[in-house]
């Protein structure tokens, strides 16, 4: 299965970011991608954490969701919309950091709310997503019937989740063959931990890992690490884009996954 990670350098204009995402998706579709993955916060990296409250949408309807649905249907691809702010009913001060999945007909077929909220303070950089975000609590997978004849089970996660291996073992026990990690890693933490975490999650569960990232200097002054990468079930990095907007392609092969699991049967359960 051909799959694409859409690395972005999102800014403070939601419409402009959506246009950039549409351009990258068109590139991916032109290269034969069946699956395309946007990064965390693809729709907005604002001047303040609270800026996302202004573009919050109710689940199931809104300009961003309608545009994403149309993009998936236009190109006939499975589109994983890294994360966008979805309203918390009854609480206008907080949102869910939500990953939505649209099928090639434009239907939203899966929703994952980020479980582990980022907190980091090194005395210079300070982040605390819990100030404006409400954590999710449910692991999510979806099934993708591919042109290669296999039905791929895809596990969803977002950025800081990657530091919590128990979540990925849950996804593996739910039958995941691929785990996606749309992200907006800081440059500081990315330089230290990004690659080793992505490779570790692939090795832990003998899965393909696709991490679509924000990668560059943003309008708000934030520097993100980038390095969107595909990692195979043996922990080898197959494709990587260090910085700037790009479409990062890979051919995911179910035979490779099944061979590695047969060679090293370390999972609690085996997908059918």
Q: What is the largest CA-CA distance in the chain?
A: 51
List the beta bridge partners of residue 224: 186
d(CA 48, CA 237): 34
> Which residues are part of the catalytic machinery?
40, 114, 159
d(CA 168, CA 162): 8
Q: Can you say how many angstroms the Cα of residue 211 is from the centroid of all Cα atoms in its chain?
A: 6
- Give the count of beta carbons closer than 10 Å to the beta carbon of residue 103: 19
Say if strands 119-121 and 126-128 run parallel, antiparallel, or are unpaired: antiparallel
d(CA 103, CA 111): 12
């Amino acid at each position: 299965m051909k799959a694409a990670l859409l690395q972005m350098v999102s800014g403070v204009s939601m419409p402009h970011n959506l246009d950039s995402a549409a351009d990258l998706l068109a590139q991916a579709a032109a290269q034969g991608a069946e699956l395309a993955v946007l990064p965390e916060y693809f729709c907005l990296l604002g001047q303040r954490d609270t800026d996302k409250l202004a573009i919050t949408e109710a689940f199931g309807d809104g300009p961003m969701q309608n545009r994403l649905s149309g993009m998936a249907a236009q190109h006939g691809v499975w589109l994983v919309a890294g994360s966008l702010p979805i309203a918390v009913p009854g609480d206008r001060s907080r949102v869910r950091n939500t990953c939505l999945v649209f099928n090639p007909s434009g239907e939203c077929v899966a929703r994952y709310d980020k479980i582990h909220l980022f907190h980091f303070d090194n005395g210079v950089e300070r982040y605390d997503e819990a100030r404006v975000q409400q954590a999710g609590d449910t692991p999510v997978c979806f099934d993708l019937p591919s042109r290669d004849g296999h039905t791929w089970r895809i596990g969803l996660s977002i950025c800081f989740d990657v530091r919590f291996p128990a979540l990925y073992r849950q996804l593996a026990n739910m039958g995941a063959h691929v785990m996606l990690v749309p992200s907006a890693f800081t440059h500081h933490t990315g330089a230290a931990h990004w690659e080793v975490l992505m490779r570790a999650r692939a090795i832990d569960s003998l899965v393909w890992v696709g991490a679509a990232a924000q990668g560059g200097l943003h309008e708000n002054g934030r520097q993100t690490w980038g390095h969107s990468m595909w990692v195979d079930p043996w922990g080898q990095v197959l494709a990587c884009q260090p910085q700037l907007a790009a479409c990062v392609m890979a051919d995911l092969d179910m035979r490779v996954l099944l061979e590695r699991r047969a060679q090293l049967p370390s999972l609690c359960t085996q997908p059918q």
